[in-house]
Amino acid sequence: MTQSSDKTPITILAVEDEASIRMLLGELLEELGHRAVTADSGETAIEHLATATKVDLLITDVRMPGMSGLDVAWLARTKRPDLPIVFITGYAPELNETPLAHEPNTAVLTKPFTMERLSGAIERALGRTLTNP
């Protein structure tokens, strides 16, 4: 995979309903040099997006109780059409059926994943990757 040299740290809102995965995701993002803000639900994420001064990228689990990650992404993109999004999923065939998952500045990351794959998905969503793996 060829990447551009721009590795500027960014603020990432990570949405995950499972506490242990949410905590690990936040730690991984910080190890990658980013500022991690976590939310335990889609509703909390939307509240944060409405009030936050800066979110550079959204990472969301696809399947969550209540508001799904797809719902979060659609609402986020209505306010910020250029917001990069990474969907995380163990299994979500509905991603293949939504145009949102195929838009520019969007990446899909399947569980389980490594830090390298997480970094690659972030870079793809930010448009920093010149070629896909």
The per-residue b/e assignment along 2-29, b for 16 or more CB within 10 angstroms, e otherwise, is: eeeeeeeebebbbbbbeeeebeebbebb
Token pair for 71: 């719902």
* pTM of the model as a whole: 0.86
Per-residue pLDDT tens over the stretch 46-75: 999 988 778 999 999 998 999 999 999 999
Ranges of each domain in the chain = 11-125
Coil, helix or strand at residue 38: strand
Percent of the chain, pLDDT > 90?
Answer: 63
CATH code of the domain occupying 11-125: 3.40.50.2300
